[in-house]
Amino acid sequence: MSDMLKYPRLTDLEKKAKRRIPPFMFAYLDAGTGRDFAKDANEVAYREISLTPQFLRGRVAADTSTTLLGKVYGAPFGVAPIGLSSTIWPGAEQILARAAKAHNFPYALSTVAGDSIERVSKVGGDITWFQLYPPADRDMCLDMMRRARECGVDTLVVTADVPAPSRRERMRLSGGPVGSRGKSMYTPRVIMQSMSRPEWALRLLANGGPRFRNIEPYSDRFGGMGVTEFIGSQLNGGLDWDYLDIIRDRWPGKLLLKGILHGQDAERAARAGVDGLVISNHGGRQLDAAPHPLHQLPHIRAVVGNKMPLIVDSGIRSGLDVAKAIASGADFVLIGRSFLYAVAALGKRGGEHAATVLIEELQDVMRQLGVASIDGLSDVPVTRASSRTL
């Protein structure tokens, strides 16, 4: 049976992903923080939105292409940066970059991905974005920017919303290697769980274990630390407005600031010369009381006007959710977990399957609404459950 008959929705793949990767790895991918209030609310926010269709417009073509920062993309969504993607499923970065390239939507490679910007940009070409967690070592930061630029990357995504690591309670409960500074990652529970998923374990071994290929070239700076410890020491909370100014000054391409929720920060970012914002609560993984990005969007739009694109993420699981975000005022969206569930569940086929499902769903919604273009989605009347007339 084809994947499309078995898994017509991306949510159909979550259970399969859970069976194919060790419990601690599934917890890493799936969890929010605290009691998952923010993570759960992210999805509820989408459920509560209604879109009012207008019929008698005939059958529309449903063109999903859109322009972002002067570039035409085939769809109004991209793959959000996900750290450790190749540990979730070995090869995930290249699988997703290939699917993104085939459908012409962006793929954002995380600083702490398993694969490197050099290797991934060869597959993704001009749709490859690079996400930067600015390291404490500013020379290293500039060097990573140089590497991204030399790989032809035009869009840098600077992540602002990880001022410190969150507690990752579900990772702890699942036995995962959290906060294992100085201790071995390979506890008996990690080994047992890994052995219970032999395909994953063998593929990971073939990939050289958990890798951080963007960071490995700086091993001369590790000073006796292991790579994860070095990352912990470098990548937490180093970003402030002065540092952002330096990055803006030195990055000649497009600059997106990711993880903005407050109007004042949006206003300041606009003054600092960033080209666009990603309104995000990091998928509910940092602050369990963070508001939903769509709830912050009207205020942020009022502050920055139409000067810059506002990209939204957190909680998007379908093409319908993509349409809802755009109808609510977003210019573009990013999707994190759903792409990785698909790759964990289907391996090499996962990227292409996720892309096809999302595009088919979005086109279906556009036809049901009678909207021919992505721009047209912003005119669709949006109702929230609390204000719905019953």
Ligand X SMILES: Cc1cc2nc3c(=O)[nH]c(=O)nc-3n(C[C@H](O)[C@H](O)[C@H](O)COP(=O)(O)O)c2cc1C
Binding-site ranges for ligand X (CB under 6 A): 28-29, 42, 80-83, 110, 112, 131, 159, 258, 280, 282-283, 285, 313-316, 335-337
Nearer of residues 29 and 204 to ligand X, judged by Cβ: 29
Q: 157 near 108, Cβ under 8 Å?
A: yes
Nearer of residues 32 and 347 to ligand X, judged by Cβ: 32
The pair of three-digit structure tokens given for residue 104, joined into one six-digit string: 């012409």
Cα separation, 345 vs 35, whole angstroms: 25
Q: Is the dihedral of CA 351, 357, 363, 366 positive or negative?
A: negative
Q: Determine if residue 363 is left, alpha or beta; phi over 0 gives left, psi from -120 to 50 gives alpha, anything else beta.
A: alpha
Q: Is the dihedral of CA 44, 46, 52, 53 positive or negative?
A: negative
CB of 33: closest distance to ligand X in angstroms? 11
DSSP 184-214: -S--HHHHHHHHTSHHHHHHHHHTTSS--TT
Instruction: Catalytic residue, from 103, 282, 292, 353: name it.
Output: 282
Nearer of residues 73 and 89 to ligand X, judged by Cβ: 89
The pair of three-digit structure tokens given for residue 328, joined into one six-digit string: 């609510």
CB of 142: closest distance to ligand X in angstroms? 19
Is 282 marked active-site? yes
Nearer of residues 51 and 171 to ligand X, judged by Cβ: 171
CB of 112: closest distance to ligand X in angstroms? 5
Query: Which CA distances in Å does 281 have to 41, 92, 138, 375?
Result: 11, 23, 26, 25
CB of 59: closest distance to ligand X in angstroms? 31
The residue whose Cβ lies closest to ligand X is: 336
Nearer of residues 283 and 350 to ligand X, judged by Cβ: 283
Side-chain half-sphere exposure of 96, counting CA atoms within 13 A? 34
The separation between CA 272 and the C-alpha centre of its own chain, rounded to angstroms, equals 24
CB of 88: closest distance to ligand X in angstroms? 7
Residue matched to tokens 């793949």: 13
The pair of three-digit structure tokens given for residue 147, joined into one six-digit string: 């590497």
Which residues does the annotation mark as catalytic? 282
